[in-house]
Structure 1
Amino acid sequence: MSVLVWITEGTWQAAVDAARTHTPTSADITLLYVTGDDIAATAHGSFAALLGRSHRERDPGTRVEALEEAAAAALLAAAAERLNHPGVTCRHRHGRVEREVVREADTADLLICVRDGDRNRLGPRSLGHATRFVVDHAPCAVLLVWPEPAPGIDSLPPAPPEPPPHQP
């Protein structure tokens, strides 16, 4: 069994704990973290547009990329340590987050991800944009977990009114 665990800031512990709880010890587990390229690209672009191109060593985009790499490595290392699974693979990708996760899930039997939206009530808003895209487009089974205990059933909105009976 091949399991892909999508690691994100703020919810990675729940994803790792779900992998520990719901996957067999014989599973091949890959921890995936994806860095969106938009922040570094913005820093590179602002430097080129506003500050000129003559001193590339001053480009803040290069520093942003280095910080992103270090943060991703630290997060993946913490997740691997928490998982404590022999032979776990850590993978760091760059690009559109939701699309990179779906691409990586193409070879997985199971994708584990965590709700990242409204945590106060049940429903579709409990998923952020990227997670909604991944859940809708994943080419494998998906285990979607709450980062903390799920809200109670009383968080459901009221049912819509019943339509009047059809009169012939």
Structure 2
Amino acid sequence: MAVVVWIVEGTWPACVDAARAHAPQDTETVLLHVTDTAVAGAGHGAYAGLLGRGHRERDPGTRLEHLASDAAQQLLAAAAERLGRPSRPAVRTGRIEREVVAAAEGADLLVVARDGDRTRLGPHSLGPATRFVVDHAPCPVLLVWPEPAPGTATIPPPPHPPGH
């Protein structure tokens, strides 16, 4: 069995705990972190367009890339420690939702956490990237709450029938 666990700041502990609880001990576990290139790209663009050219060592985009890489490594190390069994890290860069879907190809399970409005049940408990991943994953998805799920009383009422 191969399991991909999507590691995202703020929700990763719930994903790791779910993988540990629901996947056999001998599972091939991949801890996946994806860095969006948009932030560093904005830094590169600002430097090139607004601050001038030359002195590449001053490009804030490069610094942002290094910071993102360091943060990803720290998250993955913490996730591996929490998992407490063999795993391998996977670091990808690009459009987050597409990279997660691509990384899940060939997996038997993808573990993902809710990242939207977590105060009530419903579709808004998924952010846009997570919604894309859930809708397009090429394998089964285990969708977890990062904290205890809200009660069923938080489900919105059904819509009124037409004409009422």
Length-normalised TM-score, structure 1 = 0.94
Q: Distance in 2 between matches of 1:26 and 1:58?
A: 47
Is the partner of 1:51 in helix, strand or coil? coil
Letter in structure 2 aligned against 1:152:
G
Extract unaligned runs of 5+ from structure 1: none
Letter in structure 2 aligned against 1:82:
R
Q: Does 1:34 align with 2:34?
A: yes
- Shift in Å at residue 53 of structure 1? 1.4
Q: Distance in 1 between matches of 2:70 and 2:156?
A: 42
Q: Report the equivalent of 2:140.
A: 141
Q: Report the equivalent of 1:22.
A: 22
- Shift in Å at residue 159 of structure 1? 2.1
Q: Report the equivalent of 2:92.
A: 93
- Shift in Å at residue 52 of structure 1? 1.4
Q: Distance in 1 between matches of 2:146 and 2:10?
A: 9
Larger Rg: 1
- Shift in Å at residue 162 of structure 1? 5.0
Post-superposition Cα deviations, 1:126-147, rounded to whole Å, max 9, x if no partner, equal: 0000000000000000000000
Post-superposition Cα deviations, 1:53-99, rounded to whole Å, max 9, x if no partner, equal: 1111111111111101100000000000000112x010110000000
Q: Distance in 1 between matches of 2:47 and 2:63?
A: 12
Q: Report the equivalent of 2:48.
A: 48
Tell me which stretches of 4 or more aligned residues in structure 1 moved more than 4 Å. none
Correspondences of 1:19-168 after superposition (within 5 Å): 19-86=19-86, 88-161=87-160
Q: Distance in 1 between matches of 2:100 and 2:25?
A: 23
Residues 1:161 and 1:50: Cα distance change in structure 2 (over 3 Å): closer
The alignment of Structure 1 onto Structure 2 pairs a total of residues equal to 163
How much is the aligned-residue C-alpha RMSD, in angstroms? Answer: 1.1
Percent of aligned positions with the same letter in both sequences?
Answer: 63
Is the partner of 1:85 in helix, strand or coil? coil
Q: Distance in 2 between matches of 1:84 and 1:157?
A: 39
